[in-house]
Structure 1
Amino acid sequence: MARKSGRVRASKAVYTEDPFAVAGISDDEPDENPPKRARRLKQESPSDDEFVGGDDEEEEEEEDDDVDDEEMEDAAASEEAEDEEEEREGGEADEDGGGPPDEMVVNVNAAAFIPKKKAATSTARPRTKGPDGSLEIDPNESHYRGGLNHNHNTSKEMLYRFAFGSDERDLFAALYQRDQWLEGGDACLPRRNTLENPKRQPEYPYGPTLGLSPEDFEAESKSAWDWYYDKDIGDRFRATQHFEKLKKTDINNYLAKPPTKKHTVLMGPADQQTQIDLGYDEPYDYSKPWDFTGGSNNQKPRKPAREGWLMSFGRKIQCLAWAPNQEGLSQYLAVVVPITEAQKKKCSSLGADSGNSFQPTPSYPCALQLWEFTGKEIGCPTKSLEMSIKPQRRLVACTDWGDIRSIAWCPMPREERHEDSEGDTQSIGLLAGIWGDGKVRVLDIKVHRGSQQEEYVRVTSPVFEARPPSTVCSCVTWLSPSDIAVGCSDGHVAAWSILPPSSPEPHPFFYRLIHSTWVLSITSAYPSNPHLISTISMDGETQLWSMIEPQGEMTSTVRMRMAARHVSYSPVLQSVISIDENDFGRMMPIRRFFSSTAVANLPSSVISLAPCSFWHPCILQGGTGGEVTATNPFRKLLHTKPEHWQQYWFTHEWVAGPDADGSGTSRFFDGYKAEENQLAKNLASRTRHIADCSITSIYEEGTHVTALGWNPNRRCAAWACAALGCGLLRVEDLAIS
């Protein structure tokens, strides 16, 4: 029989004047087995919870009105079964009850109606809450389940603990970034004033170091690189790499065949766009279409509305990445453009490509291009692009290991030492990449110091290469200056140390099955939690797990039906940024990874995401429709229902030309204002609802935004680059002055 509540549902309970007399108990003659007193139950009442009685116990009830309802329910529950049994037996009517004639009398235990502070037989634990709303847990308990819902109205302190945890290092870092980036001017893109004037509150000691202690942060940039400058380990590490010099005519097979005609670009104000005929590898200053005064001839010239560089590589750009640890005026951008399918067919000696991504591909030629962009001092710590000096290609590193699928520079800070100035070469950094043959390789990229000539080399041996058994590598990330981790096509994750191994074939120190299929992207929660790894796989699962105990310390968020290609960790937000199947950018704080928050949306499918910056919380994402949006999700992280803003950097359209070997025609639209955005997921299907069918637009491949990137260096942190499917590369300083 279902348990019935002991709470009073109608009028207040009224008891008999002397319940002990009704029960047959006398003060003069105590009885060890007292009879049970009677209670009256209305025949027409649908419930047996209403009782009739006198006033004495009503006064007693009023004295104990502070007793919790749940405690009274537990006290009465033990007697309810016995009461119901007696009711079935049919107790005799009490002739002295004094009740109305339409009531029948049922014998019950009088003790059941006396309120008690706590039932003697109850085992329920009091569910009390602390002043901050958190549950008070008995320290003697071995485990407990459940927790507060972060979406409910709770105190700000609890919201911060939900998002960042209870450790003071994480909380201080979050408060520091909050005071830095929560102003209205930084709602979409970083302001130059905010980048130049970081907060220096003494009460936030872990803020500037992103949650690390200042001592650990300094050691990360110094002692963590001792192995690289060591006379024994460092020399053996660099001696492993071999470059072979090439002539300019020798690199034609490694670069994509240039188009026969120039790329036509329309750019400028929407009402008077300028036609630009962009040649192959010819940087163009697109501040010229925006350089107009719009007034009298005596008007003082002003700065163009937009400044940046536009370049054409002829074919789709596969990946790109800015080089970190560059504090000078020169900034380096690595660009990868695979060769065309027609060029691959000419390599008949390499064998036919099976088309199976789970198998190594033939050793097609491919090249990594390193371009130098020059900054300009503008009288403040940050730098803008120097438009009087054209970007120059400094290095072309040719390989014969298949297409380069992804690249990643080592992001760990590296303090410059006197060894770096020795010799005639300048170290740019360590670059890890995934090649088509399934191996992960690390290159020590260097260029000649003070030389403006292009260098052409063929890499015959890298400083490090490895491949897991019976699978191929699919993505790569850095764990430390000497450790890398890769995702594999069979769902495994492997990690190696790149130090010179004792055996010819290096063995991973970590190799575990994390997913059931292809790992699309991987990132580390560096610098505060480098042992936490976030991965996303082809089956739509996005997981966060610890390398210390991957099986026991693992969590996942909502599974997607359509897998996303990118995942990145933001140290400023202490969150993992990824893409949702409904074309939303989503944010997952590592302290509540199970709950994702929508932070941006695009009208087309999102296919590119810029790696998060260490110096600001703004994110960039690009879509198949040629749009690139920017937003600052910090306010969304700290508040439950804030105003959320996003802004288009630009939109791009491309159409093929009449010539099959041509580059086609592109058109850019700029000058979008920031707009408040509604992030309700149920609106995603409404915007594309035609004839009761949900549709998805298919765009030309040349329109797609294939890769995005923020400059990781502090003085150039607002520099952004965008690669397009038609081969165009756009570089611009997005800092708001």
Structure 2
Amino acid sequence: MASARRSGRLKGPRAVYTNDPFESAGITDESDSEEQRKSATRKGKRRRGDDSASDDEFVAGEVNDEEEEEEEDEDAADDGNKNGAYNPDDMDEMDMDERVATPMTPRTPGGRSRLNRVQSQQKLLESSGATTRSTKAPTNETRVRGCVDPRENVSKPMHYISTFGDDDRDLLAVIFTRDRWARGVDTCLPTRHTLEIQSTANDYEYGPTWGVAPEEIEKERTSGWDWYYDKVIGAELRKAQSIGPQLKEMDARRKYLPKAKKGKHTILMGPVDDQKVFHLGHHESLNFDQAWGDTKAQKSDRASTKVREGWLISFGQKIQCLAWAPNQDGISQYLAVVTLITPEQKEKHTSHGSEPFSPFRPAPSYPCALQLWEFKGKQAGLVTRTLDMETKPLLRLVLCTDWGDIRRIAWCPMAREKREEDDQNGIKTIGLLAGIWGDGKIRVLDVKLDPGKKTEFVKFQSPVFEAKSPSNVSSCLTWLSPTDIAVGCSDGFVAIWSILPTSDMEPIPYFYKPIHTSYVLSITSAYPTNSHLIATTSIDGETRLWSMINPESENTAPVRQRQAPGHLSYSPILQSVYSYDENDFGRLMPIHKFFATQSAGRMPSAVISLAPCSFFHPSLLFGTAGGEVVATNPFRRLLYSKEQHWQQTWFSHDWAPGLEKDSSGASRFYEAYRAETQSLARNLSGDKRPQLGSSLTTVHDERTHVTALGWNPNRPTAGWACAGMGCGLLRVEDLAI
């Protein structure tokens, strides 16, 4: 019996293909809108049973309900097949012949043809009453919400735009940094050769100025400081500072400096197989050449053939904080160091024990001093200088105060053109130094010294600026401009003051808003690239980037941490904020992609301190609880996420109690580490360290910790770094390779 004849007609409209499906659908920018309307009207009148028109003429247009149902059935069948493939078992012989003779409709990865999607969009517009003839929205009406997922593989241009922004100023600054600091030799520490490179007119316009217009930087360096030299404003500001008569050295050392122990601090330093023993007393210094003098250096581009060049100074008490003075282009560099008095000295104070200590309340007004040390340099190249090892470090100035322990200090980092008024009557101006004292107040000191005297001991009775936020204490600070300071508070608020003189009895902050729910641990400004952006971290584990203009709506935050980092710093070269997390990883957060953190190093122990970022190189320094200081340059991984991560240990420090009763203990230094690659995998499978079956945490003695770090902020000495330990040792070294 002959089989029943089946229709050779397709169930749906026959597809005719052109080079562009959108063009065949009548959706093109070049096509005349009137012709599209007439074509769509004419083609929409045809029906499936109308033999007056050929199926080959049908391209796209309005369809009736029967065609719509057939298209839905056809799409559902196609979507059920992988990659838009069809199933031969579902078609008869005639259908197969028709399919073979007709090219397949190109499919998208989702299995639905682009043409069908366009038809669905048209029907959706028609059902909603829209009369738009084109699916392409005008440029001025385009809306975008969200951003690119950083976990997906994107093109390099899209990666640069999402990381650094699409502004020419940001991109040119990144290209300038890439051409200078992305070489393999600078993967960890800056090289002297790169630091020597002078900026020329052929450089990218915004490169040497970190994306800021050069005229703006020059204006801030010159006219931005006119207020300080003004005969009215500047004079009134300096008049507010009161300094008492110079103190006697014995009285100042006994009251304001930590009491020195009778025994000396034992130092073991030198090659690992031939370390030498030294003994340092209070404020005594050690030249590294004494420990490394017998070791021959390899041929390199260093200014000296010595293996190590640096100084080690004993302070006898934990180094609370330290900072290099900016705007010092001469051979003398000044380092501010803070060491608190001993607990035994605090017990003898009249206000001791009046109330339990709490970081949320003002502390007793213990005496405290800030020490200013001078380090000499010598010319090492056309631009850079290295340490002068023939001149010992000298204590030049001791600033004595009775306002409690000094918790934080920060020099005003803004560039300042040298003027004749800076060195009048034999007095040298060092700069403006801001600090937070134990009584919860922020103060700004105008630091000057007499170069003709060896050591000065001065007592500050009042500063040039003093302020306290209402009903709380200050916890951290950062400079926003030569006249503005942002301060984090113990109740989660952030206050911003102007230090210019006012007629008010007490200075009132012009910005005072809650940013966090609790104690603000650290604060930093995105100066100079985006000075209105401020990053803060709180004890509640939150890290936020917010705008001074509208902090309620213009803010973002990465994933919350269980243990909040106590330090933040912004790098204008990397255009990123860097910090650390509870897993001993360094974190890098670009300001344009702050929510997506990137690993910037893996530390051998918990991170305790960070060095403020330098304006002249992208190297970062992390200080750990185990006594290690790790250096890394994350710029290559910031550009190319698949690059290997390199990091290098500057030195490793161990402390142990001494055998003698009054000894300060013994410290051993391991150094001369080579640069190594480090896996940044956050799971145990990528961890090269041995696993013992459980997660272990090592508790290190507090005197082993690296409590403070700092890069020198001046261009000729940008390679100088300093590190303070919990045992009271200070290490200063030129790290430029």
Task: Using structure 2 for the length normalisation, give the TM-score.
Answer: 0.84
Task: Give the aligned length.
Answer: 663
Distance 1:290 1:237 in 2: 49
Aligned residues of 1:689 and 1:695 also touching (Cα < 8 A): no
Deviation at 1:61, TM superposition (A): 9.8
- Which residue in 1 is equivalent to 2:528? 527
SS in 1 for 2:642: coil
Equivalent positions of 1:82-101 (< 5 A) are: none
Q: Does 1:341 align with 2:343?
A: yes
Describe the superposition over 1:90-121 as per-residue Cα deviations: whole angstroms up to 9, x where unpaired.
xxxxxxxxxxxxxxxxxxxxxxxxx9686523
One-letter amino acid matched to 2:584: D
- Which residue in 1 is equivalent to 2:596? 595
- Which residue in 1 is equivalent to 2:196? 196
- Which residue in 1 is equivalent to 2:238? 238
SS in 1 for 2:549: coil
Q: Does 1:121 align with 2:138?
A: no
Describe the superposition over 1:203-231 as per-residue Cα deviations: whole angstroms up to 9, x where unpaired.
61001111111110100101110100000
Deviation at 1:451, TM superposition (A): 1.1
Q: 1:275 to 1:143 in 2, by over 3 A?
A: same
- Which residue in 2 is equivalent to 1:413? 415
Distance 2:643 2:347 in 1: 55
- Which residue in 2 is equivalent to 1:732? 733
Aligned residues of 1:15 and 1:57 also touching (Cα < 8 A): no
Aligned residues of 2:568 and 2:578 also touching (Cα < 8 A): yes
One-letter amino acid matched to 1:430: L
Distance 1:124 1:708 in 2: 67
Aligned residues of 2:561 and 2:581 also touching (Cα < 8 A): yes
Q: 1:642 to 1:394 in 2, by over 3 A?
A: same
- Which residue in 2 is equivalent to 1:467? 468
Distance 2:211 2:329 in 1: 23
- Which residue in 2 is equivalent to 1:650? 651
Deviation at 1:17, TM superposition (A): 2.6
* Greater CA drift, 705-714 or 49-58: 49-58
- Which residue in 1 is equivalent to 2:633? 632
Aligned residues of 1:626 and 1:653 also touching (Cα < 8 A): yes
Give unpaired runs (5+ residues) of structure 2: 1-5, 14-46, 53-62, 82-86, 129-135, 298-303
Distance 1:495 1:235 in 2: 23
SS in 1 for 2:243: strand
* Greater CA drift, 487-496 or 283-292: 283-292
Equivalent positions of 1:228-307 (< 5 A) are: 228-244=228-244, 245-251=246-252, 252-292=254-294, 303-307=305-309
Aligned residues of 1:176 and 1:199 also touching (Cα < 8 A): no
- Which residue in 2 is equivalent to 1:206? 206
Distance 1:190 1:619 in 2: 10
One-letter amino acid matched to 2:172: F
- Over the matched positions of the two proteins, sequence identity in percent amounts to 52
Distance 1:578 1:35 in 2: 61
SS in 2 for 1:220: helix
- Which residue in 2 is equivalent to 1:153? 153
Describe the superposition over 1:614-663 as per-residue Cα deviations: whole angstroms up to 9, x where unpaired.
00000001101000011100001000110111111000100011345321
Equivalent positions of 1:434-473 (< 5 A) are: 434-448=436-450, 450-473=451-474
Distance 2:384 2:110 in 1: 63
Describe the superposition over 1:439-488 as per-residue Cα deviations: whole angstroms up to 9, x where unpaired.
0000000001x314211111100000101100000001000000000000
Equivalent positions of 1:323-342 (< 5 A) are: 323-342=325-344
One-letter amino acid matched to 1:219: K
Aligned residues of 2:296 and 2:306 also touching (Cα < 8 A): no
Deviation at 1:168, TM superposition (A): 0.6
Deviation at 1:15, TM superposition (A): 7.5
One-letter amino acid matched to 1:167: D
Q: 1:560 to 1:688 in 2, by over 3 A?
A: farther
SS in 2 for 1:218: helix
SS in 1 for 2:216: helix
- Which residue in 2 is equivalent to 1:367? 369
Q: 1:493 to 1:64 in 2, by over 3 A?
A: same
- Which residue in 2 is equivalent to 1:512? 513
One-letter amino acid matched to 2:384: T
* Greater CA drift, 50-59 or 237-246: 50-59
- Which residue in 2 is equivalent to 1:6? none
Deviation at 1:310, TM superposition (A): 0.4
Deviation at 1:27, TM superposition (A): 4.7
Describe the superposition over 1:178-226 as per-residue Cα deviations: whole angstroms up to 9, x where unpaired.
1000111101000000000145362610011111111101001011101
- Which residue in 1 is equivalent to 2:577? 576
One-letter amino acid matched to 1:288: Q
Aligned residues of 2:367 and 2:401 also touching (Cα < 8 A): yes
Aligned residues of 2:79 and 2:112 also touching (Cα < 8 A): no
Q: 1:349 to 1:181 in 2, by over 3 A?
A: closer
SS in 2 for 1:120: helix
Describe the superposition over 1:14-63 as per-residue Cα deviations: whole angstroms up to 9, x where unpaired.
97437699x994759xxxx9997999x9xxx9999975464599469946
Task: Using structure 1 for the length normalisation, give the TM-score.
Answer: 0.84
SS in 2 for 1:121: helix
SS in 2 for 1:646: strand
Distance 1:603 1:452 in 2: 44
Describe the superposition over 1:105-148 as per-residue Cα deviations: whole angstroms up to 9, x where unpaired.
xxxxxxxxxx96865236899xxxxxxxxxx9864557433332
SS in 1 for 2:124: coil
Distance 1:370 1:644 in 2: 37
Distance 1:635 1:363 in 2: 48
Deviation at 1:286, TM superposition (A): 1.5
Distance 1:219 1:24 in 2: 76
Q: 1:225 to 1:118 in 2, by over 3 A?
A: closer
- Which residue in 1 is equivalent to 2:670? 669
Q: 1:17 to 1:385 in 2, by over 3 A?
A: same
Distance 2:50 2:194 in 1: 85
Distance 1:403 1:305 in 2: 39
One-letter amino acid matched to 1:402: G
Distance 2:435 2:12 in 1: 88
Aligned residues of 2:265 and 2:665 also touching (Cα < 8 A): yes
Deviation at 1:283, TM superposition (A): 1.4
- Which residue in 1 is equivalent to 2:43? none
Distance 1:667 1:325 in 2: 35
Distance 1:680 1:457 in 2: 52
Aligned residues of 1:613 and 1:717 also touching (Cα < 8 A): yes
- Which residue in 1 is equivalent to 2:624? 623
Q: 1:317 aligns with which of 289, 303, 319?
A: 319
- Which residue in 2 is equivalent to 1:356? 358
SS in 2 for 1:419: helix
Q: 1:337 to 1:176 in 2, by over 3 A?
A: same
Aligned residues of 2:107 and 2:114 also touching (Cα < 8 A): no
Give unpaired runs (5+ residues) of structure 1: 1-13, 78-114, 126-135, 296-301
Runs of 4 or more, structure 1, over 6 Å off, are: 33-39, 45-50, 73-77
Describe the superposition over 1:510-568 as per-residue Cα deviations: whole angstroms up to 9, x where unpaired.
00100011100000000111110000111111110000110110000111111111000
- Which residue in 1 is equivalent to 2:560? 559
- Which residue in 1 is equivalent to 2:696? 695
- Which residue in 2 is equivalent to 1:17? 9
Aligned residues of 1:189 and 1:630 also touching (Cα < 8 A): yes
Deviation at 1:421, TM superposition (A): 2.7
Distance 1:339 1:18 in 2: 94
Distance 1:168 1:24 in 2: 56
Q: Does 1:613 align with 2:605?
A: no
Q: 1:547 to 1:684 in 2, by over 3 A?
A: farther
Distance 1:646 1:454 in 2: 40
* Greater CA drift, 435-444 or 203-212: 203-212
One-letter amino acid matched to 1:166: D
Aligned residues of 2:483 and 2:499 also touching (Cα < 8 A): yes
Deviation at 1:151, TM superposition (A): 3.7
One-letter amino acid matched to 1:429: G
Aligned residues of 1:25 and 1:34 also touching (Cα < 8 A): no
- Which residue in 2 is equivalent to 1:398? 400
Aligned residues of 2:346 and 2:352 also touching (Cα < 8 A): no
